[in-house]
Every structure is written in C-alpha cells, then in structure tokens.
Structure 1
Amino acid sequence: MTRIALEPYFLHQDQVQSLLGEQRTEAARARATRRSEPEAALPYVLATELAEALSSLGVRELARCVLEQDLRTGQVVGAELDFAFQRDREQDTPGFKPMSFTAMFDAGEQVRVTGMFNSARTASSSAASSLAGARRAYLIGTVTNLRAAQIELRPVFIGIRSFIDDDAAAGGLTPGARVYPSDISQFNGIDFTSPFTEAESEAVLHVPEGVVKHAFAGLIGESYVPKDWGGERSDLYTSRVFARGHQVSAAWLFKGPSYPRAMDVRALGKNGDQIDRLFTEPAELLVLQHCHQIKPSVVGMMDAYAHDARRPRSYMIIDGADTGRILRSLGMLPAIPAGLPLQNQRSAVPGQAELFPRDY
C-alpha cells in the first residue's frame, strides 16, 4: 500500500484545521498531547493528518487543473514546483514576517505562480532556512486570484511530499515515481547508454507509428493490439509488462512521424487532453512514446498527473533516441545512406511502404 507523507516547513494551523474538520483536528491534537513538547509537535502531527486526508479532501494537482481548464478562485490545490522564496523585511510588523514566492510551469504556455505567507508560522526554527532562495517544494494552497497566465495562491502548507510504499520490501513500482526503459525486463537486452547518431535519429522519423506499436507489443509479449480509433484513451493496454521485476498493467500512448519534431504539451491534443485521457486508464504504469525529443514541459505534466493524491501512479517516457535503440536492437531501424547532408537524407530513404511492407 502506498501512502503520502508530508514534512512541513510552513504550516498555517488554523487553515489546516479548517480543511481537516473537527474530528480529524481533535485526533491530531490528542496525538500531539502525548508528545514531550505538544506545541512543537502539533505542526508535524497536523501535517501527518493532512497527508492522510489529501485524497478524500480532493486536493488536485495545479498543473492538471490548468491543463483541464478546471481551476477557480477559492479552490484548494497542490503543486510541486521549483520555487524562489524572498523575504520582504521592510514589510515586517509584529507577528507578521512576509515572504513571497514565485514559480513557473509549462501547460502549453508558461504559467506563473505567485503568493505570500507569514514566515513566522514556520513549523520550526530550523525550517526557516529551507524557505530561502531557490527550493523545490510541495505547496498546498487556496487560489486567491486568476489572471492571464498567472495564478496567486495563499499557502496552507509548504514542505516535502513523499510517497511511501509500505510494501517496498517486496519491490515493484512506487506510485508517483518515474520508471525508465532500462527498468523494463523485456528491454533487458538493449543498451540504453549506447551512442545514438544524428542519422539514426533521422531514421526513426521514417518508422510508422503502427510499426512501432506492434514492435513494442511484440517485445512485451502482448498479442492483442487494437486498431486506432478517435475515442481511444490509449494506443495499447497490457498487463504483461515486467517493471523492476514485477508484473504490472501499462497503458501506452504512441506519437509517430505525423509529429516529426520535439514534443510539447500542445502536441498532445487540445489542452494536452491526450495526457488526461491516458491517465483515466486503469493502469499502474502510464507510458508516453515519441519519435523525437520530449520536452521537459511534457515530462513535468506527466509527473504532475502521476503525483495526483487521489490516485498516484508511475510513468515512463520513451523519446526518439530510446525508441531508436529499441528498434535498432530488433533490426528495424532503416539505414540512412552515408555521405549525404542530413537535410537530403529524407528524400534518399525509401518510402514507408517499401521499408515496412506489412499493412499496419
């Protein structure tokens, strides 16, 4: 079983207790009174109670809400981002030590996240040093203002979020974690550290998406490969993947030569809805494959969906280089004539029908 743990740097006790409700708050206070220093322990006990309640409270990932265009003022959201924290000492008043923060993320366009909180409410004196300068942190907060490409949050919690697998001794996947192609047992014979040339990258762009899908299905041992249709949530669903030695279910989204360039969020349908549909599949592992580079903004969006407190999952990214290494191991990477300038190589490569005579 996987659970979420929260370690607080900042915690607004009144707002957290309001979120938790009377019953959970009383349970947390009762646990704190059993500690040697109840007042010092209370922020940490409240954070533990908040972590246990996140799923039932419906706290969604901010990036996912933006992508789905489902964000409103007053909504409580969570975001794990690279924040820049700044103390504004000139605005200090008794009991109030303002600290502002900013962060950016890409949801098809750059979105700026801003806000301010009272640093006098840090969970401990040592936590203050963790809220200085640039720091990756998990923030839970209320949306107080929405403007064009800017979101203002009032923090309830800032700190560290961890996904803890109580069955970790048994191995397997940890929800929220990124899985790499080298973790897949069916890819054991492939050297993902081997050099991959510019010509080979070009060759990948000549392999039809259907061929890649069937090749991957064959490696995995999945016999049932559905035909593409407009309402699909994924291109391939299988329960035959072995990741880190354990059999898991996996849903795959393939993106082929129809998009022969670096993938950004906009390449994945209107508002990136192909990611959203992929994560509606009942799979433990969600896989995104592309014939070219996959930009960090897409990886970040996959990560945000994977960390959704309501149902954390694992995800895997297979870009054009790793796709090429897999195809090369199968002898399916078309040869590019040597000595030609790269811009002329496309015209020198045989057509898809000649390279791949089977009708996929």
Structure 2
Amino acid sequence: MKDLQFCINSYYLNIKLLNSIFDSTVTLNIQSNLSHYKEEYQRKMKTDLLYIDETIKFIQENNIPDLHELILSGKVSDNILVTYQKSFYYKKFKEKKSNRESIKFHLKHKEFSNLNIHGTFATEHFTCNTAYTNLSGRYRAFFLSFIESHTNEEIILKPILIGDRLIQNKNSANTFNVSLSNEIKPENIDEFHDISKIEFRSIDDKVALNTLKGIPEKEIKNRLASIIHQNNIPKDWGGEKSDLFTSHLHINNERISGAFILKGPAKFEPMILSSLGKNGDQIVRLFEEPADLFILQHCHYITSAVKSMMEAFATRHMRIRNFMIIDGIDTYRILKAYNKL
C-alpha cells in the first residue's frame, strides 16, 4: 500500500494559469528540461508530463483543499484553488469546430441540490483528441480549479487541469499498472477474510438489519474488536478522533494500523452526513489519526454522500490514504462468519 502514488491522465491543461501559481524556479526547471527535445511532438508530450508532475507536487506541498470539504465547512471563498473529483456534465460535441471553442460544464450534486456549480473552459487547452470524446456529456473527472466567484447559490469554477486521477505503483515502469480506487473491501483484510464465506445472495437484508438492531452498540464494538484481536478497547468520550485504533490488521500478511468509526444501532437508519456530527466532523477527526486504513462502520445502510466524503478525505491533497466502508450487511456478514451472532 505504501508503494502507491497518484498520476493524472490529462485532457485539459492551462499552462498559462499553472505558470501564474508556480514559483518561477519551477517554470525555469521545466524549460531547462525541455531544451533537450528538438522535435515538436516530443516537446509537447514532455511539456504536459512535466507540468502534471509539478502540479501534483504543488497540490501536495500546499495542501490544496477539496471543494466538497470547503462547502461543508462553509469556507468557500473567491480566488482560491480547489480540487474536486465528480461526474460533471459538459456541453456535448456534435463536431469539432475550432481549437478555441468555449465549453460550459456543470455539476448535479444531490447533497448540494440548491447550489449551482459550473464554469467554462476553452478547447485550445485540450491535451489530446480524446478530450473531445470524454469531456462531452457526462464524465467523472478530477479538477484543479480556481473558484472564480461564489454566492450562497452558485460557485463558478475556472479549471486549470482536468483529467483522470489514477493510482500507480511507484516501482512499476508500466504506466498501465493503475487502479481506480483506494477503497479496501472487508474481504481484503486478513482478519475479516472469512466474510467471503457468507455470500450476499444468501442474506435477507431485513433479517440481517433487524438482527443487528437488537445488539447494543457497545457489544457491536466489543465483538468486532475481538475478531481483530484488539483487547484494549477505549471508553467512549467526546474528544476521541476514532472509536477504535488498532495495529493488529493485516493485508496479505502485511501489518497495518487502522482507525475505526463504529456506529451501532442506537440511531437505526441509513447513515447520512449529519449522522457524523455537524458537517461530518467525525470523518474530519478520523483522518487526523496516524493510521494506514480508515474504516467507517454502521449497522444500517450508508448513503453515497457519506461514501463520497470518505473518498474525498482519503484522496485530499493528492495523498493516497486507504479507506473502508462496512455497512449493516457487511457488519452482519463479518459477525456471522466469526460466530459472533
């Protein structure tokens, strides 16, 4: 897990805007590296790669925030840089008209349905012909953007980079060796491996959730802790960053640490962001733990908005942090697999 890094397959790259945010020495170094390439197509390809590498470093070193996080915390402001990875809707291309066409895009977000997030970009900054296909209609992409302006009802973005954010092995020269997710499934944890013996199709959701509903929250915590051989179970108090922290987890026999948020059946309903405190601040605190894996468990269903926030925090600042979602059905499968029901 520690040998992974982000890479970006770009479709849109506004080099003029990047030069405006980079330190002058960065731009000079890029130009120096490009001096070795005489052919125009080689210079173009290398230019994009060098600027993408420096952009990733810039996001990491300057802790560029995720737009999702800023909206929830009420810290949106004009002329700041943000990252965002969502499915945006773009004006559809019927045909390629010119290299200077202005394209409108917008975001439909269930969680922020009263907020119009939109912007425009020019095709002259496209890095490849594939951009005309992918950035047309609906497409999930990674953005680095300025917030050009905002009100309570609207956020206007000015993109600097648009592309696919991928995960790559640092030790592999093969650029195709990528994974699209840093979400770990329960069956990938050695201590939960037997969950695979309890197939989804064998479970009646209603029966499973009702079974969990009758188990006290403290007991859910104790049973999960016993499965991972964690004997030191802290008492709940208001200031904890996680409900359970352990160094006893393993993936393929590799030892890792994990921080849990454990939500029993006390509030027996699908988990939404407000289930995790104001602005989902329990997730904020969870990711302050020095853990290798961040785990959110609930005894009911977990909504997509919550999963999106976990994913946003697990990839914020272009740093890869692994996360896991254990909903009520997987909680039931784990407990049943290890004879804890």
Q: TM exceeds 0.5?
A: yes
Q: Which residue of the partner structure matches residue 254 of structure 2? A: 246
- Aligned match of 1:65: 70
1:83 maps to 88
Select the residue among 121, 131, 143 that pairs with 2:125: 121
2:27 pairs with 1:25:
yes
Q: Distance in 1 between matches of 2:93 and 2:130?
A: 19
Which runs of structure 1 show a deviation greater than 6 angstroms over 4 or more consecutive aligned residues?
none
Q: Count how many residue pairs are aligned between Structure 1 and Structure 2.
A: 326
Matches within 5 A, 1:201-350: 201-309=209-317, 311-333=319-341
SS at match of 2:49: helix
Which sits farther off after the overlay, 44-53 or 220-229?
44-53
Distance 1:21-1:142 versus aligned 2 partners, 3 A rule: same
What CA distance in whole angstroms lies between the structure 1 residues aligned with 2:319 and 2:151?
Answer: 29
Q: Within 1, Cα distance between the matches of 2:243 and 2:112?
A: 22
Encode CA deviations 1:194-234: one digit per residue, 9 max, x unaligned: 42212222111111221111111111111111000011110
- Matched AA of 2:86: L
Q: How does 1:36-55 map to 2 (within 5 A)?
A: 36-37=39-40, 38-55=43-60
Shift of 1:311: 3.9
Distance in 2 separating the partners of 1:189 and 1:133: 42
For 2:101, the aligned partner's letter is K
Indicate conservation of the 8 Å contact 2:191/2:227, yes or no: yes
The change in CA–CA distance for 1:276 and 1:180 in structure 2 (over 3 A counts) is same
Q: Equivalent pairs: percent with the same residue?
A: 28
Alpha carbons of 1:310 and 1:125: their partners in 2 closer, same or farther (altered >3 Å)?
closer
Check conservation: 2:93, 2:132, Cα contact below 8 A.
no
Partner of 2:176: none
- The higher radius of gyration belongs to 1
Give me the whole-angstrom Cα distance separating, in 2, the residues matched to 1:227 and 1:168: 44
Q: Deviations over 1:145-202 (max 9, x none)?
A: 2223532210000011123232579xxxx99600001101011222252422122221
* DSSP 3-state at the match of 1:50: helix
1:175–1:314 contact (8 Å) kept in structure 2: no
Residue number in structure 2 paired with 1:142: 146
Structure 2 unaligned residues grouped into runs of 5+: 174-178
CA 1:165–1:67: 2 relative to 1, 3 Å? farther
Q: Secondary structure at the match of 2:30?
A: helix
| Amino acid corresponding to residue 254 of structure 1 in structure 2 | L
Aligned-pair CA distance for 1:75 = 1.1
Question: Is residue 154 from structure 1 mapped to residue 158 from structure 2 by the alignment?
Answer: yes
1:303–1:106 Cα change, 3 Å: farther
Contact in 2 for aligned 1:143/1:153 (Cα 8 Å): yes
Q: CA deviation at 1:310?
A: 5.6
Decide whether aligned partners of structure 1 residues 264 and 8 sit closer, same or farther in structure 2, where only a CA change above 3 A counts: same
Distance verdict in 2 for CA 1:208–1:110, change over 3 Å: farther
Structure 1 residue 112, shift from structure 2 partner: 4.0
Structure 1 residues 110, 272: CA separation in 2 closer, same or farther (over 3 Å shift)?
farther
5+ unaligned residues in a row in structure 1: which ranges?
A: 334-360
1:65-121 CA-partner distances (Å, limit 9, x unpaired): 2222222111101011111111599xx9x8631101112335576654211111121
Q: Which residue of 2 aligns with 1:196?
A: 203
> TM-score scaled to structure 2, two decimals?
0.88
- Structure 1 residues 193, 146: closer, same or farther in 2, change over 3 A? farther
Q: Deviations for 1:27-74, whole angstroms, at most 9, x for unmatched residues?
A: 222223333322454233211221222211321211122222222111
In structure 2, distance between residues paired with 1:112 and 1:258: 35
Q: Give the drift of 1:302.
A: 0.4
Is the CA contact (8 Å cut-off) linking 1:179 and 1:314 kept in structure 2? Answer: yes
Q: Which amino acid aligns with 2:333?
A: R
Which of 26, 46, 61 lines up with 1:56 in the alignment? Answer: 61
SS of corresponding position for 1:188:
helix
Change (3 A) 1:178 1:143: same
